[in-house]
Copies of this chain bind each other. A is one copy, B any other.
Amino acid sequence: MRQSELFTKTRKEAPKDEVSLNAQLLIKGGFIHKEMAGVYSYLPLGLRVLNKIIGVIREEMNAIGGQEVFLSSLQSKALWEKTDRWNDEKVDNWFKTKLNNDTELGLGFTHEEPLTAILTEHISSYRDLPKYIYQIQTKFRNEARAKSGVMRAREFLMKDLYSFSKSEEERKEFYDIVADAYHKIFSRVGIGEKTYMTFASGGVFSKYSHEFQTECEAGEDIIYVDEKKNIAVNKEVLTDEVLSDLGLKKDELVEKKAVEVGNIFNLGARFSESLGLTFKDEKGESRPVIMGSYGIGPGRLLGTVVESLSDDKGIIWPELIAPFQAHILFIGDSLDVRKEAERVVNELEKKGVEVLYDDRDVSAGEKFADSDLIGIPIRILISEKTLLQKKAELKSRKTNEIKLVDIESVLSKDLDVLLKL
């Protein structure tokens, strides 16, 4: 894509009321727009990244047998009263609205209730179980504080997966499968090394829930990490009993600030009993379905990547989720240079490489600064000086390493290879 055609422009300053680093950088780079506190719109560059993250999540959910649905945001009071989660004193972050006839409706902050209700129409026998169902859909949460940019928004996309099993053992088996899939997702989007499976408080049905916490200065959680065992404990459950349960020693743990990028909950029969989701077992006896829920917020993940991997010049996107794979720049007024840059763009695009081409008539300094801010993994620069040697200057956004490479070899090699040249 030609940068002159992209409708967004970079800007020098983020809005004054924006205190989070992730939203500041994303706004300056033209990735998102702030509609109000906790509410952001995705502009073309941001949506490209978001869709790549969603693509990774979807692949891993399909790989473990997830079936995708897309449930409504509008929720009926009658349904949520059955599980006692309608009352604002029970759930403090509902957004509610009304039909013209004054019927109260809610905007879904999660979807256990509607999905469980749907399944009562499709599940009746042990032969129908287990089932794994997920969606990537907008949640609304009326957060009191919304100062963490896209990491804690009032409206945000969520991947919510729900498991429906015959027994606690069957649920537990799947729980481990999802944990593996989550590790793959965090690793593929570039924060695997900074993300820890973390024991947190479990609620009604089990001693612990599992959070996936990514080391991050802007995180709202404190975790204690055993770096050898690669597990962590949320500060909220750090007691001697827990340490002994998990075989951890307090003096071997490192305190870190972290952000929760995923979670896994055992729901037991909490929702299936309230909503009548039962099945007949092999003996013909009626039993409640055992459920689990598994969340990842694609937008929060995007924000976490920005917080964790940026530097003072801008964002540093991991290769797999970068808005484009290569950023091609030329400098100077030479028509030959511009023509050669366009040839490189066309050849790379023919090979299927996603290219952002800075064809704007602006200064070299502005091009360099914008390129660092936008954070595409490889910058390919052509100038009169490089062209004389039939070379292009390659710069890695991550390492800042710069190399002169023959243009023909840029065109003939994979970008992965070029990054490592």
Point out residues on A near B: beta carbons under 8 Å. 5-9, 11, 30, 33, 35-36, 39-44, 47, 50, 65, 67-76, 92, 95-100, 105, 107, 114, 118-119, 121-123, 128, 131, 133, 138, 140, 142, 144, 154-155
B67 touches A41 (CB 8 A): no
* Nearest B residue to A146, CB-CB: B99
- Note all chain B residues with C-beta closer than 8 A to A122: 7-9, 30
Residues of B within 8 A of A44 (CB): 67-69
* Interchain Cβ contacts under 8 Å between A and B, 13 examples: A6-B67, A9-B121, A33-B118, A35-B72, A41-B71, A41-B72, A42-B69, A44-B69, A47-B69, A72-B155, A73-B140, A74-B154, A100-B142
A15 CB to nearest chain B CB (Å): 10
B41 lies within 8 A of A155 (CB): no
Beta-carbon nearest neighbor of A37 in chain B: B99
Contact between A118 and B69, CB atoms less than 8 A apart: no
Are B7 and A72 touching (Cβ within 8 A)?
no
CA distance A138 to B123 in the complex (A): 29
* Interface contact B118-A41, CB-CB below 8 Å: yes
Chain B residues lying within 8 Å of A99, measured Cβ to Cβ, are 142, 154
Q: Which 3 A-B pairs have the closest CB atoms?
A: A41-B71, A42-B70, A7-B131
Task: Please give me the residue from chain B that is nearest to A93 by CB atom.
Answer: B100
A141 CB, nearest partner CB in chain B, Å? 11
Separation in Å of the A151 CB from the closest CB of chain B?
16
The 8 Å CB contact of A133, one of B7, B69, B133, is: B7
Cα separation A41 to B76 with both chains bound (whole Å): 13
Apart from the given pairs A35-B74, A39-B74, A107-B107, 6 other A-B contacts in the complex at a CB distance below 8 Å? A5-B65, A7-B133, A41-B70, A42-B69, A50-B70, A99-B154
Q: Separation in Å of the A277 CB from the closest CB of chain B?
A: 12
Q: Contact check, A76 vs B35: say whether CB atoms are below 8 A apart.
A: yes
Contacts of A118 in B (CB 8 A): 33, 41, 43
Chain B neighbourhood of A154, CB < 8 A: 74, 99
- With A and B bound together, what is the CA distance between A6 and B35 in angstroms? 40
Using A42-B69, A74-B154, A122-B8 as known contacts, say yes or no to A100 and B35 having CB atoms under 8 A apart: no
A142→B99 CA distance, assembly (Å): 6
Between A8, A74, A114, the greatest number of chain B beta carbons within 10 A of the residue's beta carbon is seen for: A74
The CA of A101 and the CA of B337, in the complex, are separated in Å by 57
Most B Cβ at <10 Å: residue of A35, A114, A118? A35
